[in-house]
């Protein structure tokens, strides 16, 4: 018979067994509930704790010159994030981070004090700043691979290339125009994190696979550089307001340089005046002055005149209605050749009267004035060339020597190149090709012929006239270059007054446009200087800059001197001896 203590012990054992069975049943039921009914919710919570959604954007494609030199590219720029729950000394960490990042300490401290396990500290910092922060060895501070736009040549071709904003979207220039092509693709991915919040398995490959396409320009970095340096020196020497220089291959229409001064650094564009961002070679129209005379002469030749046709130039003063046209040097009879060589306004006006308004308008429009070139840059101007029906007699006279119409520098160099190219107008080219992030050519652009505006014979006759300009007694002798037959035309145009009729006193645009060699032109160059102070004649201000750019470009391109008549005579004499 069991004693009372034994019974008591058995009851305790039974109670423990019942309790254990109950616990097991409860755990089994709870496990069933967790695994079956709450599985999805708990999985999501676990994913949130140990995984992270990341948006990855591919690097922006590059902008390259014709020789694949980088003009716009990308550099590493890590993004700094933090897990506030892991920060031990919030105040000290905020102080250290703010000092390195050169930002407000209070805002950094506020970010580090937030609830949650993620906060953004700074996007796209420099590698030097990232290295300094790494050296602090702060727990809870993390680095994400990222990049930002970088222009390795600083202000080189800045107005053409443009720049991007903080999110790497194009804001100006080609960066803006071709943003959809250059912009990298975006993808959302989920990555795992460890207990400390560190990313475990991010794949670096997607960023490269998502990289945008690149564009290859017709611009030549070397010619662009020497054009910009020459332009800067010219503007400074003459205390001018600004300047432009364009270099084109006449046979293809390819632009090798579009230079501006003053410029700006697109890496730090916000520190520059917004007015300097503009690609004024395309966006700004101005009265071109006497360069237009070569197109007036071409129209006369097409209408049956010859280079030796003569016009009476009224001894330097000629009235049209109530207006009087003047020449710098009074002359009586001039041939068509001499009208261009000596740059006679009266001679050009007499040509216009003889061939008529309709003919002059036809050829000016044919050379591209009054229409956009569609070169592929934002903000291009049409210029101004009114219908000939709206021209008065004085309008027709003024337009014949470059006043009363407005052109862009790109239109002007394109027209000059058409004369160099035997009368064939080419579409200006700035984009050579588009390539993928793997280097494959997606699209290649070929030179485009627009129209034969004058005959090759007429073009050759105008070339000869332009060659006379740089010879003795011409207005552009300072553009002459030994060993090459240079063709050119000077221009000294009064600037139109702002906000009122007429022209501003003592404000000029000095320009020179030309090409060389005469027989087979390799390069056409236009130099435009706005408001020079020391001198204002195009032959004194712009012609020397033209010569410098031409000489340095020919040297760089290894374009050998021509066998001119003097050289042939010397060789022949040597052979006889």
Beta-bridged to residue 346, according to DSSP, are none
426: helix, coil or strand? strand
- Measured distance CA(156)–CA(265) in Å, rounded: 8
Cis peptide before 324 (omega within 30 of 0): no
In the chain, the N- to C-terminal Cα span, in Å, equals 153
Instruction: Give the DSSP H/E element, type plus range, for residue 391.
Output: none
Alpha-carbon torsion angle 313, 314, 316, 321, nearest 10: -110
> Is 290 annotated in the active site?
yes
Contacts (Cβ under 8 Å, ≥6 apart) of 16:
none
CB burial of 57-67 (b: ≥16 within 10 Å; e: otherwise) equals: bbbbbbbbbbe
Return the residue matching tokens 């097991």: 24
Return the residue matching tokens 């720049």: 163
Q: Return the ∠ at Cα 496 (arms to 494 and 499), rounded to 5°.
A: 155
CB burial of 102-128 (b: ≥16 within 10 Å; e: otherwise) equals: eeeeeebbebbeeeebebebbebbeee
- Measured distance CA(134)–CA(120) in Å, rounded: 16
- Measured distance CA(402)–CA(74) in Å, rounded: 45
Q: Tokens in use for 260?
A: 């501006």
- Give one DSSP letter per residue of 69-117, joined into a string: -EEEEEEE-PEEEE-GGG-S-HHHHHHHHHHHHTS-HHHHHHHHTSSSS
From 214, 227, 290, 409, active-site residue:
290
- Measured distance CA(24)–CA(34) in Å, rounded: 15
Asked if 431 and 376 count as a contact pair (C-beta separation under 8 A), the reply is yes
29: helix, coil or strand? helix
Asked if 561 and 567 count as a contact pair (C-beta separation under 8 A), the reply is yes
Q: Tokens in use for 263?
A: 């410029």
Neighbours of 556 (CB within 10 A): 13
HSE, CB side, 13 Å, CA atoms: give it for residue 518.
Answer: 22
Taking Cα atoms as reference points, which of 325, 371, 367 lies closest to residue 347? 325
507: helix, coil or strand? strand
- Measured distance CA(6)–CA(8) in Å, rounded: 5
Neighbours of 424 (CB within 10 A): 20
Q: Which residues are marked as active site?
A: 290
């Amino acid at each position: 018979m069991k004693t009372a203590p034994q019974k008591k012990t058995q009851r305790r054992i039974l109670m423990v067994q019942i309790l254990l069975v109950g616990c097991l049943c409860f755990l089994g039921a709870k496990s069933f509930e967790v695994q079956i009914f709450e599985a999805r919710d708990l999985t999501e919570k676990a994913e949130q704790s140990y995984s992270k959604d990341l948006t990855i954007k591919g690097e922006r494609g590059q902008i390259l010159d014709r020789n694949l030199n980088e003009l716009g590219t990308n550099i590493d720029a890590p993004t700094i994030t933090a897990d506030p729950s892991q920060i031990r000394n919030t105040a000290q960490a905020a102080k250290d981070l703010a000092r390195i990042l050169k930002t407000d300490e209070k805002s950094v401290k506020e970010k580090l004090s937030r609830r949650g396990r993620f906060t953004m500290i700074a996007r796209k910092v420099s590698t030097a700043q990232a290295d300094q922060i790494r050296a602090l060895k702060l727990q809870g501070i993390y680095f994400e691979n990222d990049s930002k736009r970088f222009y390795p040549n600083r202000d080189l071709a800045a107005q053409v290339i443009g720049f991007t904003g903080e999110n790497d979207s194009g804001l100006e220039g080609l960066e803006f125009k071709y943003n959809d092509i250059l912009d990298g693709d975006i993808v959302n991915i989920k990555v795992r994190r460890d207990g400390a919040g560190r990313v475990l398995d991010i794949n670096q490959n997607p960023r490269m696979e998502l990289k945008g396409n690149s564009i290859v320009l017709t611009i030549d970095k070397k010619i662009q550089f020497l054009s910009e340096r020459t332009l800067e020196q010219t503007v400074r020497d003459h205390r001018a307001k600004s300047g432009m220089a364009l270099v084109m291959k006449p046979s293809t229409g390819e632009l090798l340089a579009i230079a501006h001064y003053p410029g700006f650094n697109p890496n730090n564009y916000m520190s520059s005046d917004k007015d300097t961002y503009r690609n004024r070679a395309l966006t700004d129209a101005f009265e071109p002055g006497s360069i237009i005379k070569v197109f007036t002469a071409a129209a006369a030749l097409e209408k049956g005149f010859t280079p030796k046709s003569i016009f009476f130039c009224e001894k330097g003063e000629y009235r049209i209605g109530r207006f009087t046209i003047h020449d710098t040097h009074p002359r009586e009879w001039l041939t068509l050749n001499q009208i261009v060589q000596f740059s006679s306004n009266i001679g050009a006006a007499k040509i216009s009267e003889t061939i008529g308004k309709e003919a002059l308008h036809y050829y000016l429009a044919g050379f591209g004035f009054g229409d956009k070139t569609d070169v592929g840059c934002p903000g291009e101007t049409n210029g101004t060339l009114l219908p000939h029906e709206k021209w008065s007699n004085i309008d027709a006279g003024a337009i014949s020597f470059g006043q009363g119409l407005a052109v862009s520098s790109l239109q002007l160099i394109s027209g000059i190149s058409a004369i160099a190219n035997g009368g064939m107008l080419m579409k200006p080219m700035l984009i050579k090709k588009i390539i993928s992030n793997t280097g494959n050519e997606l699209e290649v652009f070929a030179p485009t012929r627009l129209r034969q505006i004058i005959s090759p014979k007429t073009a050759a006759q105008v070339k000869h006239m332009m060659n006379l300009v740089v010879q003795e007694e011409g207005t552009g002798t300072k553009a002459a270059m030994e060993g090459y037959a240079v063709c050119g035309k000077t221009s000294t145009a009064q600037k139109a007054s702002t906000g009122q009729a007429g022209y501003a006193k003592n404000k000029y645009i000095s320009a020179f446009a030309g090409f060389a060699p005469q027989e087979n032109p390799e390069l056409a160059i236009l130099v435009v200087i706005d408001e020079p102070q020391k001198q204002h004649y195009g032959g004194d201000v712009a012609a020397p800059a033209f010569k410098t750019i031409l000489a340095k470009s020919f040297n760089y391109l290894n374009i050998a001197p021509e066998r001119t008549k003097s050289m042939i005579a010397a060789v022949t004499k040597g052979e006889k001896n």
